[in-house]
Amino acid sequence: DLDHNTITGVEPSYQRFTCLKSLSLRHVSISALDLSLLVAACPKIESLALDFLEVVTSDPQSTMELTSHTLKSLFAKSVGVDKIILDTDNLEVLNLNALNLDLFELIGKGTLKHLKIDDVSVTHMDIGESTDHLEVVDVSNFTIVRPKLYSMISRASNLRMLRFWGVVFDDEDEIVDSETIAVSFPLLRHLSLSYELRDGLLHYSLQGSSPLDNVSVLELGWTVISEHFGPWVFGMIERCPNLKKLVIHGVLSEAKTREERQMLASFTSFIVCLMRKYVHVDVQFEYE
């Protein structure tokens, strides 16, 4: 760990860390060039964590370019750059958090298995063919302009866990329904969706009839409660014939209107009826 430091003048010709496999930089100030050279000076690096990184650059369009053929895991949070270009052949875990980017580009050989994105806004994201072998996709509070988020992961037929929470779709054609999820990800076991209604269109609507046969854990939630949330929950449960666990996430405002109180009471009654029907399902609640 190199925390709360300023790193300058990396010279890989004689500063090499031939045995280093894990590198963590937190609250570090470093130039984009020195960071690239530092990673290159670690020929066996497998894990890289960049947390609250100040990237010093004279270019108004700051770019962070990293190349490593051994890197398997990257965590990047609050990195002060506009563009990230990552060239690696063996990356399996990619975790992006609290970033505002013009470009994120991953150049690799399709080894990515775990993709987690939280509180990220990106104009263009290109991860190429790296999604074919994905097993976990966990996306929350994410805004992307292009390409379409779903199109990036649609070929991940081995996906086991999918989480879409607070995802902003800028294109009406990007709306994803339960039928699309069932057909694209037949091996899915854990599904987490937040109830999103924008401009009158419901994300993850109950289209088609294909079941989610392998889903055993279902997490559903709302940020703004709606009278349609209960029927949506019921419809999703019906799509999961082998469901074992249901987790309801909800946001409760301190100052509730009369309408909100009525909807919450109605939803509570609905859940009681649902629990009586699906006695084999473990139902849990998480409110904030």
Splitting the chain (288 residues) into consecutive groups of 10 residues, what average pLDDT does each group show?
A: 80 82 94 92 96 84 92 96 94 96 90 95 84 92 78 88 82 70 94 75 68 96 83 90 94 76 86 90 90
Specify if 263 maps to a domain. Answer: yes
Specify the pLDDT at position 120. 94
For residue 37, give the H/E element and its range. Answer: helix 32-40
Domain that holds residue 161: 82-287
Specify the pLDDT at position 1. 64
Specify if 157 maps to a domain. Answer: yes
Specify if 92 maps to a domain. Answer: yes
Specify the pLDDT at position 173. 56
Q: Is 162 exposed, middle or buried (0-12, 13-18, 19+ CB in 10 A)?
A: buried
DSSP helix/strand/coil, 138: strand
CA angle 196, 201, 207 (to 5 degrees): 90
Which of these, 82, 74, 64, 87, lies nearest to 116 by C-alpha position?
74
93/47 Cα distance (integer angstroms): 9
Specify if 108 maps to a domain. Answer: yes
118/115 Cα distance (integer angstroms): 10
Specify if 174 maps to a domain. Answer: yes
Sign of CA dihedral 110, 23, 77, 223: positive
Specify if 72 maps to a domain. Answer: no
Specify if 203 maps to a domain. Answer: yes
Angle between helices 258-277 and 229-238 (to 10 degrees): 20
Specify the pLDDT at position 172. 57
Phi, psi of 254 (to 5 degrees): -70, -45
Specify the pLDDT at position 9. 81
The tally of domains found in the chain comes to 1
Strand-pair partners of 162:
137, 191
Specify the pLDDT at position 248. 93
Specify if 43 maps to a domain. Answer: no
94/137 Cα distance (integer angstroms): 10
Instruction: Give me the amino acid identity at 98.
Output: A
Specify the pLDDT at position 205. 65
